[in-house]
Amino acid sequence: MNRDLTDTLQAQREAAGPAPFPTLAVRRERLARLARMTKRHQHDIVRAIQLDFGQRSEIEIHLAEILPVLHAARYARRHLWHWMRPRRARVPLRLWPARARVAPQPLGVVGVMSPWNYPWSLSIMPAIDALAAGNTVMLKPSEHARHTSALLAKLIPQHFTQEEFCVIEGGADVAKTFSALAFDHLVFTGSTQIGRQVATAAAANLTPVTLELGGKSPALVASDADLDSAAEAIIFGKGFNAGQTCIAPDYVIVESRRLDALTHALERAIRRQRPDAKDATGYVSDAHHARIERLLDDARARGCRVLEHGPHAPALVIDPQQSLSLMQEEIFGRALPVISVKHIDDAIRVINARPRPLALYAFTHQKALQETLRHQTCSGALVFNETLLHHAVPTLPFGGVGESGSGAYHGRHGFERFSHQRSVFYQPKRSNSGWLRPPYHRWLLHLLRLG
């Protein structure tokens, strides 16, 4: 397998050799093929994902898996001509009349390792940015979403040559080999634990990596927040895909005096949004389902108040002890701890005491508090009075910081992430650079203000 993967990587490199800088037309046509493939086979995509999860809302699949891909491809095709243009770089007066430019150049072959929670969109969206930047792509989808993985392996060869975009299926052993290939860039989306292993494997080849990880993203509810509005947004973020989202609110933090009122508002939001199992999403495996229930059982055994509203709805865990596994691990499921603090400053201290999250949600319209959070906290994204929807803004970079990841992509940020920003310097026939060369004279020091 190692030899086969190396050969595939080399074949992509060699195929790009005669045309290492694909034209705008070639890139736009590749993006059009990706969009066309997704649009034509959307029913197959829905069916494959539903088979992987056992149960998943068709509307949520369209919202999270299909529409983002179509929108991202269209956005890139529309703006690509501008992104590809070299941009002027200012030259110091002493070097005139020389000119300089920064010219984006394709890196080469980009490896993509995608997760199981959004198995179509998180496979295709990094590929959109990589193809827009003029690269070729090797994709390793998650073996835990085997039906979607098989569909990707079936459809992509129908729309792309092996040298443009190929799919590598397999389990953990294949993933380990894949991460150790000498890519020109490697994108991994998944857990922090596996992300460390991927980064270690890539480091042997000095392969630059973009790690989209996760962590415990807090939702802070301030004293001025409308509780019903905040609760609706939090439950939407937690209930979507059964909480199996890297940017889902992991826990809620609120001042003690508003704890009961917020708890009631969250319960009302659960009853409105998740009245039955019709729009529910299942877990990708029995093991993952068992893990979430084990976290909840542990909280109950330790005396926590757990408010249930059905097996598919968010379960509120009121003021859990910090020592619980629920508060130590990224939950990635329906459990939602609600923590009370005396003052908003205590909330900021709680957030800053943890590893930096992928997203920080804050429900407040106070400009002063918004500025405080902007300057005194660090997260991949800072989102006010909403959850999840920042991911749908193509002009915002998507990525983490610290344990929640490194690097960002989406839109122009993805194009630049998967490009080499090449420095280009132009010296005209007649220049004044000779005075910088030996033999040196004393007057030069005075001219340069060094003596």
Question: Is 212 among the residues known to form the active site?
Answer: yes
C-alpha–C-alpha distance, residues 242 and 238, integer Å: 7
Q: Which amino acid is at 421?
A: Q
Residues 6 or more apart in contact with residue 387 via CB below 8 angstroms: 219, 233, 234, 236, 237, 238, 247, 248, 249, 359, 361
Upper half-sphere CA count for residue 143 (Cβ side, 13 Å): 9
C-alpha–C-alpha distance, residues 330 and 327, integer Å: 8
Neighbours of 323 (CB within 10 A): 9
Question: Is 14 among the residues known to form the active site?
Answer: no
With contact defined as beta carbons under 8 Å apart, do 209 and 399 qualify?
Answer: no
For β-strands 209-212 and 405-406, DSSP reports them as antiparallel
C-alpha–C-alpha distance, residues 156 and 420, integer Å: 26
Region of residue 447 (left: phi > 0; alpha: psi -120 to 50; beta: else): alpha
**Catalytic residue chosen out of the listed positions 65, 212, 232, 330:** 212
CA 374 to chain centre: 20
Residues paired with residue 339 on neighbouring β-strands, in sequence order: 253
Residues 6 or more apart in contact with residue 262 via CB below 8 angstroms: 221, 227, 230, 231, 252, 254, 338
**Catalytic residue chosen out of the listed positions 164, 166, 232, 246:** 246
C-alpha–C-alpha distance, residues 241 and 53, integer Å: 10
Active site residues: 212, 246
